[in-house]
């Protein structure tokens, strides 16, 4: 996806996971995504460091589409992720 198009993504909902540590960060993000319809975009505010490293990877591993991770410059990051409904797990 070209960088100029990335800026166009408009979040449909927001979640703040800066108040918890891993893996609850990921779980809170999952819960927020669960409230959304397929294809909708969630903006997640998360702390720099472990959360910023792990949450995007974990969401990607679940099949969701990680769109953008930007540094807010205040010790937190903003993660944009599009919900992709997972295939049923056997």
Which residue in the list 22, 36, 67, 78 is annotated as catalytic? 22
User: How do beta strands 65-71 and 76-82 pair?
Assistant: antiparallel
Cα angle value 67/56/27 (rounded, 5°): 120
Q: Applying CB under 8 A, which part among 4-12, 23-31, 39-47, 74-82 lies near other proteins?
A: 23-31
Of residues 51-70, which lie at the interface with other proteins (CB under 8 A)?
A: 58, 62
User: What are the φ/ψ torsions at residue 54 (nearest 5 degrees)?
Assistant: -85, -40
Q: Per rule CB under 8 A, is residue 20 in the interface with other proteins?
A: yes
Q: Would you call 22 a catalytic residue per the annotation?
A: yes
> Which residues belong to the active site?
22
């Amino acid at each position: 996806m070209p960088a100029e198009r990335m800026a166009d993504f408009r979040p449909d909902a927001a979640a703040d996971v800066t108040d918890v540590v891993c893996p609850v960060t990921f779980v809170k993000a999952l819960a927020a995504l669960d409230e959304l319809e397929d294809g909708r975009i969630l903006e997640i505010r998360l702390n720099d460091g472990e959360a910023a490293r792990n949450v995007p990877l974990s969401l990607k591993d679940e099949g969701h589409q990680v769109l953008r991770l930007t540094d807010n410059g205040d010790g937190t990051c903003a993660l944009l992720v599009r919900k992709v409904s997972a295939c049923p797990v056997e």
